[in-house]
Amino acid sequence: MAEPSSRKYRRVLLQIDAATLCQDTVGAAVEIAARLGGELHGLFIEDTDLVAVGELEFIHEFRLSSPTAHPLDLLTLESQLRAMARSVRRQLERAGNRQKVTIGFRSVRGDTWRTEEETSNDADLVIIESTGRLHSRTYRGHRTNRRSAVANLCPTLLLKGGKRLTSFVTVICDSVEAAKLGVRTVTTLLGVKPENITLLPYALNDQECQELREIIEQFAEETMKTAEGRTQIKIGPNVAEDGARVMRFLSPDDCVVVLKTGGIFLENPAHLESLIVSRHPLLFVQ
C-alpha cells in the first residue's frame, strides 16, 4: 500500500442552516471528531434569502395550531432562527460531552453559498448537511457555485438523507492516485474496514487496473500484521466513460461515494449533478 498519510485531521467544521438541521448529522460529526481526537466547530448560517422572504407581504404561513393563514412576521422569523441556533448548540454540546470532544460554535448571517466557500479553509475537514436542499430550485440554481465550493473544500463530507453514515464505501477511481487517496482517507476519517471498501475503476487502462489490484494485495498483506488478520478490498468492473453506468454499480444504495476533485470523472458536470441529487453521502478528497 502507499505510504501512510501524514495529514492530521484535528479541526472539524460542521455547517448547518435552517433548511438542513438534522440531529443524525450532529451525531455523525461528533463521532468523526472523537475518532480523530480532534475538536468540532459548529457553524449555523442564518440564510439571508430566508430572511428576505419574510419581508414579502404576500408570504403567509400555516401553523399546526390553526388552519388559517397568518402573515409571516420578520421579528418572529429572526427569533426562530436564533432559537434554532441555540438548539443546535445544545445538541452539539451534549453530544460532545458524551464523546469527550471539544465543541465550538458560532452563528452567522449571510448567503449560504458564499459563507460555505469563505469558511472552507478554516478546518481540516468540512461536513455539510444538505438534505433539505437537494431538490430545491435554489440549490439546483447554484450549480456553478456549488461545483466551485466542492472543488475548494477538501476533504468535504456531504451528508444526505437524515441518517447515520453507512459502513460501506465506494471509491470512484479515475486514476491510481484517486484509489490510494480514497482508501487512506476513508480508513483514517471514517474508520471503514477494508472489506467494506470497493474500488470502482473509471475509464482506466489495463496497466492502471493492474496497479489497483496490486494496491489491494499490498493492503491485504499489511492487514495480516494486525489482530484482525488478512482483509481484502473489493474491486468493481472497469466502467467506460459513461457516468450513468457508474450510478448502477454503486452498492448498497446508501454507501458513501468517494471522489477525488480535479479528476476526469468530475470534469463532466452531469456526473456531479447525478451524485448530488442521489441519496449517497459524498466525500470529496484532494
- 71 compared with 180, residue with greater pLDDT: 180
In the block, cell 444504495 appears at 253
Per residue in 4-42, pLDDT (tens digit) is: 445 677 889 988 877 666 777 888 899 999 988 999 999
Q: Is the pLDDT of residue 265 over 50?
A: yes
Taking the C-alpha atoms of residue 19 and residue 21, their distance in angstroms, rounded to an integer, is 6
**Average pLDDT of the residues of the chain:** 79
What element of type H or E holds 46?
strand 39-47
Distance (Å, whole) CA 22 – CA 259: 24
Q: What percent of the chain has pLDDT over 90?
A: 27
The pLDDT tens digits for 87-125 are 889 999 999 999 999 999 988 876 554 545 555 566 788
- What is the band of 240 on the pLDDT scale with cuts at 50, 70, 90? confident
Instruction: Report the relative pairing of strands 156-159 and 282-285 from DSSP bridges.
Output: antiparallel
For residues 45-66, average pLDDT: 69
Q: Which three cell numbers mark 126?
A: 468540512
Sheet containing strand 282-285, strands side by side? 103-110, 39-47, 11-17, 125-129, 156-159, 282-285, 256-260, 169-173, 197-201, 234-235
